[in-house]
A and B are shown apart, each in its own frame.
Chain A
Amino acid sequence: MPGPVQSIERAAAILRLLAASSGRLGVGELAASLGLARGTVHGILRTLVRVGFVEQDEATGKYQLGAALLHLGTSYLDVNELRSRAINWADALAARSGEAVRIGTLLDGKVLVVHHVFRPDDSLQAMDIGTLLPLHASALGKALLAHDVNAAASIRGTELEAYCRRTITDHRALARSLTRVREQGWAAEIEEMALGEASIAAPIRGHGGLVVGAIGVSGAVERICRTDPSAGPSAGGAARRVPDPGLVAYVRDASRAVSRDLGASRW
């Protein structure tokens, strides 16, 4: 078994010191208290500032505990903050794909739509921010289920409601489909929530890779999908449809761009 991770121990010690202090502390004070080099302490502090656990005062350069620590048990990222940070990328995705864009987050076993960009054809469309979508039958939901343990836990043992013939209602089949989502990094749904409709989505990650939401496009199945040339006709005689690879690439680009903006380093 590997031993304790030294830098995490040190980070914990810094947090304890800051929590016990009545005012802000400087790098020098922290380093002296812990018997560490200033450079070491500075490096740890910078990481703690990045994740929001520590804040640096602009005027004095000294440190104190960050607001993120106080909200550790509640929501990680405010949904309105998420919309504000993602709005330019969501617009760009709508412009490039020509489809409507939605951003969803997990709420009580459902997907809450927190942002909606109209399909850019100037047809009359209604805002559906605040709408709840099923986790197992939407691409946004599947992207969340595949990457967020809390999302997965929220539907465990529940009955998966059938919206259409193609809705996945079996937990084991759903688990298999989510494994694929994890492998490929994106999710899709073709006529699983509504007849004639399809959607594609990818997860949005924050610091450390934590999934905070999902972004995706949705629209008429003829536009979102194309016929899979590698597959023969299905039992019903209709050609098999797969999500359009070009759209998938746009969705993944957008999810990576938003994630980068939120501080996820590897996506």
Chain B
Amino acid sequence: MTERYVMSIDQGTTSTRCILFDHSGRLVSVAQREHRQHFPKPGWVEHDALEIWRNLERIAPEALAQAGVTPGQVAAAGIANQRETTVLWDRVTGLPVGRAVVWQDTRTDALVEDLGRAPGAALVPERTGLPLATYFSAPRIAWMLDHTPGLRERAERGEVLFGTMESWLIWNLTGGTDGGVHVTDVTNAGRTLLMDLATLSWDDDLLAFFGVPRAMLPEIRSSTEIYGTARRVFPGVRIGAALGDQQAALFGQTCYSPGETKCTYGTGGFLLMNTGKEPIRSANGLLTTVGYKIGDEPAVYALEGSIAITGALVQWFRDGLGLITTAPEIETLARTVDDNGGCYIVPAFSGLFAPHWRAEARGVIVGLTSYITKGHLARAVLEATAWQTREVVDAMNRDSGLALRELKSDGGMTADNLLMQCVADVLNVPVVRPMVVETVSLGAAYAAGLAVGYWADLEGLRRNWHRAARWVPAMDPARRAAEYHNWKRAVERSFDWTRTGPVPAEDHGPT
């Protein structure tokens, strides 16, 4: 019998990757292409959706060729995508309407503020599990409809379609203007602010609140089911899954039971905890989100806590301060000292995310004395990621009533051994790293393989998960408590910084 594979497409913020996996979940080939980041104005971030589609047209055949595989040997393809990035396109020409507005884009901040004061604003968190924020898609759709002449009318007539990246790619793969399938999955639809978290369908009240015409929306489907068959790029291959990237990582880490939690450490950090078949409303600043939905089975929900700055603090240490030349050197520098020397860095560069949600906070370095060296600062940088993880985990434990027993970590920063040990120490639970750190891609592949029976069930996928490393807590409990207390004090000192009152007279100096 010919070997068969599953194809995974990870449409990320900076690049698109195509990876083939074999039946044991092992990586067989990788092809990748970056796309341009457009910054037309301060706070604006855009992608060219057509460029992203063309990148996929190039990398998918590359990945197949590298492995010497024909489309006929691909059992299914799955897509994981950057979440909340908003694409509008013309149903007739197949061309995007303007550039895609990326999740980092904050052009809707004034609009979101207005909407927050409008009647019905309380509906948004109630129905969607998410706060009304610039982060999500609906305000972006509204903004685009408001700022492009004639667009709203065309959208109402169904001539203009909305989708996040997975919708755009599936529509194009399944034929585009020639019968392309216009669908999204529950994890992506759940990040628009337009979907009712309980019914998993578009909510008329929310559509009215944001002024988004129903005719432009994709059909909401499960995360794993066959949406259609590709007619381009890899003709004949069934498209069997779509998931937002963080949910894909949860799936790839095989967090299938309530309480199982993963953290992806990249520029920022994303913790997701599986909370089972009922959505849990957070009282501690976390997002309630759909984890995944397999075929006709009930949806599985998750609590999400995002940390704005983790790896980005290391990048700042490298590029902004120039104290290291490559990111991994932070560990070398941190190991030149035994502890932080009493120094703490709170990286609230643009406020603090979960669980604080303090937009007005700014970064602080506290505890500076003449004793502090760059080695202590390097330690404080790594510890900042660990303590921020602890804060989110504490919030998750409180909301879910489940106690985290082990953290599954992935992402680039898992190569930092000192950081992973530090996370285990401050959480007081073991931290494990899976053999395949490409968990986003693996999750999309798993979901697609499940849809077509390439893998039989979740238990089979669990057996593919192998531990590559495990860090066990080795910190004295008294010291952990004292350090956590210090960290919390440091965080408090970052609050309110941008809330400046009038400058007092004495600060103007003698007159």
State the A residues within 8 Å of B (CB): 67, 78-81, 83-84, 87-88, 91-92, 94-96, 116-118, 120-122, 125, 127, 129
Complex Cα spacing A129 to B26, Å: 24
Q: Are A127 and B470 in contact (CB under 8 A)?
A: yes
Instruction: Name 18 interchain pairs, CB-CB below 8 A, sorted by A.
Output: A78-B326, A80-B331, A81-B326, A83-B415, A84-B416, A87-B414, A87-B415, A88-B437, A88-B438, A91-B435, A95-B435, A95-B436, A95-B466, A118-B467, A118-B468, A118-B470, A120-B435, A127-B471
Q: Are B26 and A81 in contact (CB under 8 A)?
A: no
B266 CB → nearest A CB, Å: 13
Q: Are B325 and A67 in contact (CB under 8 A)?
A: yes
Q: Are B469 and A116 in contact (CB under 8 A)?
A: yes
Nearest residue in B to A100 (C-beta to C-beta)?
Answer: B468
A9 CB → nearest B CB, Å: 28
Q: Are B415 and A117 in contact (CB under 8 A)?
A: no
Q: Are A117 and B332 in contact (CB under 8 A)?
A: no
Nearest residue in B to A68 (C-beta to C-beta)?
Answer: B325
Please give, as numbers and ranges, the residues of chain A lying within 8 Å of B220 by CB-CB distance.
Answer: none
Complex Cα spacing A87 to B468, Å: 10
Interface residue B158 (Cβ < 8 Å from any Cβ of A): no
Complex Cα spacing A83 to B329, Å: 11
Q: Are B417 and A83 in contact (CB under 8 A)?
A: yes
Q: Are A96 and B26 in contact (CB under 8 A)?
A: yes
Listed residue (B27, B331, B414, B415) with the most chain A CB atoms within 10 angstroms of its CB:
B415
Complex Cα spacing A103 to B454, Å: 35
Please give, as numbers and ranges, the residues of chain B lying within 8 Å of A78 by CB-CB distance.
Answer: 326, 328-329, 332
Q: Are B469 and A122 in contact (CB under 8 A)?
A: no
- Determine which of B26, B416, B435, B468 lies in contact with A80 in the assembled complex, contact meaning CB atoms within 8 Å: B416
Interface residue B327 (Cβ < 8 Å from any Cβ of A): yes
Listed residue (B331, B332, B435, B470) with the most chain A CB atoms within 10 angstroms of its CB:
B435
Complex Cα spacing A127 to B27, Å: 24
Q: Are B332 and A122 in contact (CB under 8 A)?
A: no
Q: Are B27 and A129 in contact (CB under 8 A)?
A: no
Complex Cα spacing A202 to B18, Å: 30
Q: Are B437 and A87 in contact (CB under 8 A)?
A: yes
Interface residue B24 (Cβ < 8 Å from any Cβ of A): yes
Please give, as numbers and ranges, the residues of chain B lying within 8 Å of A80 by CB-CB distance.
Answer: 328-332, 415-417
Q: Are A117 and B469 in contact (CB under 8 A)?
A: yes
The proximity string for B residues 1-24 relative to A, scoring 1 for CB distances below 8 Å and 0 otherwise, is: 000000000000000000000001
A38 CB → nearest B CB, Å: 28
Query: Given A95-B466, A96-B26, is A117 in contact with B326 using a C-beta cutoff of 8 Å?
Result: no
Complex Cα spacing A127 to B416, Å: 13
Please give, as numbers and ranges, the residues of chain B lying within 8 Å of A87 by CB-CB distance.
Answer: 414-415, 437
Q: Are B332 and A118 in contact (CB under 8 A)?
A: no
B405 CB → nearest A CB, Å: 15
Complex Cα spacing A92 to B438, Å: 12
The proximity string for B residues 430-447 relative to A, scoring 1 for CB distances below 8 Å and 0 otherwise, is: 000001111000000000
Q: Are B331 and A95 in contact (CB under 8 A)?
A: no
Q: Are A95 and B417 in contact (CB under 8 A)?
A: no
Query: Given A84-B415, A120-B466, is A91 in contact with B436 using a C-beta cutoff of 8 Å?
Result: yes
Q: Are B437 and A95 in contact (CB under 8 A)?
A: no
Please give, as numbers and ranges, the residues of chain B lying within 8 Å of A129 by CB-CB distance.
Answer: 417
A-B contact count (CB 8 A): 67
Complex Cα spacing A80 to B333, Å: 10
B465 CB → nearest A CB, Å: 8
Complex Cα spacing A249 to B26, Å: 18
The proximity string for B residues 400-431 relative to A, scoring 1 for CB distances below 8 Å and 0 otherwise, is: 00000000000010111100000000000000
Q: Are A94 and B435 in contact (CB under 8 A)?
A: yes
Complex Cα spacing A125 to B471, Å: 10
The proximity string for B residues 479-493 relative to A, scoring 1 for CB distances below 8 Å and 0 otherwise, is: 000000000000000
B331 CB → nearest A CB, Å: 4
Please give, as numbers and ranges, the residues of chain B lying within 8 Å of A121 by CB-CB distance.
Answer: 466
Given A78-B328, A84-B328, 6 other A-B residues pairs in contact with their CB atoms under 8 A: A78-B329, A87-B415, A92-B26, A118-B470, A125-B470, A127-B469
A82 CB → nearest B CB, Å: 8
Q: Are B27 and A118 in contact (CB under 8 A)?
A: no
Q: Are B468 and A91 in contact (CB under 8 A)?
A: yes
Complex Cα spacing A84 to B436, Å: 14
Complex Cα spacing A129 to B414, Å: 14
B390 CB → nearest A CB, Å: 21
Q: Are B437 and A84 in contact (CB under 8 A)?
A: no
Q: Are B27 and A92 in contact (CB under 8 A)?
A: yes
Complex Cα spacing A87 to B330, Å: 17
Complex Cα spacing A91 to B466, Å: 10
Complex Cα spacing A90 to B26, Å: 13
Complex Cα spacing A94 to B468, Å: 8
Complex Cα spacing A127 to B468, Å: 10
Please give, as numbers and ranges, the residues of chain B lying within 8 Å of A95 by CB-CB distance.
Answer: 24, 26, 435-436, 466
- Determine which of A67, A84, A116, A117 lies in contact with B435 in the assembled complex, contact meaning CB atoms within 8 Å: A117
Please give, as numbers and ranges, the residues of chain B lying within 8 Å of A88 by CB-CB distance.
Answer: 27, 437-438
B206 CB → nearest A CB, Å: 42
A213 CB → nearest B CB, Å: 14
Nearest residue in B to A82 (C-beta to C-beta)?
Answer: B328
Complex Cα spacing A120 to B464, Å: 10
Within 8 A of A (CB), among B333-382: none
Within 8 A of A (CB), among B134-170: none
Please give, as numbers and ranges, the residues of chain B lying within 8 Å of A117 by CB-CB distance.
Answer: 435, 468-469
B267 CB → nearest A CB, Å: 15
Complex Cα spacing A121 to B464, Å: 10
Complex Cα spacing A67 to B329, Å: 13
Complex Cα spacing A87 to B332, Å: 17
Complex Cα spacing A127 to B469, Å: 7
B509 CB → nearest A CB, Å: 37
Within 8 A of A (CB), among B287-324: none
Nearest residue in B to A88 (C-beta to C-beta)?
Answer: B437
Please give, as numbers and ranges, the residues of chain A lying within 8 Å of B469 by CB-CB distance.
Answer: 116-118, 127
Q: Are A81 and B467 in contact (CB under 8 A)?
A: no
The proximity string for B residues 460-480 relative to A, scoring 1 for CB distances below 8 Å and 0 otherwise, is: 000000111111000000000
Please give, as numbers and ranges, the residues of chain A lying within 8 Å of B328 by CB-CB distance.
Answer: 78, 80-81, 83-84
Q: Are A122 and B329 in contact (CB under 8 A)?
A: no
Complex Cα spacing A78 to B326, Å: 9
Complex Cα spacing A96 to B26, Å: 8
Complex Cα spacing A129 to B424, Å: 16
Complex Cα spacing A83 to B331, Å: 11
Please give, as numbers and ranges, the residues of chain B lying within 8 Å of A125 by CB-CB distance.
Answer: 470
Nearest residue in B to A121 (C-beta to C-beta)?
Answer: B466
B45 CB → nearest A CB, Å: 19
Q: Enumerate the 5 nearest inter-chain pairs by beta-carbon distance, A residue then B residue, closest first.
A: A120-B466, A80-B328, A84-B415, A84-B328, A80-B331
Please give, as numbers and ranges, the residues of chain B lying within 8 Å of A127 by CB-CB distance.
Answer: 417, 469-471
Please give, as numbers and ranges, the residues of chain A lying within 8 Å of B466 by CB-CB distance.
Answer: 95, 118, 120-122
B425 CB → nearest A CB, Å: 14
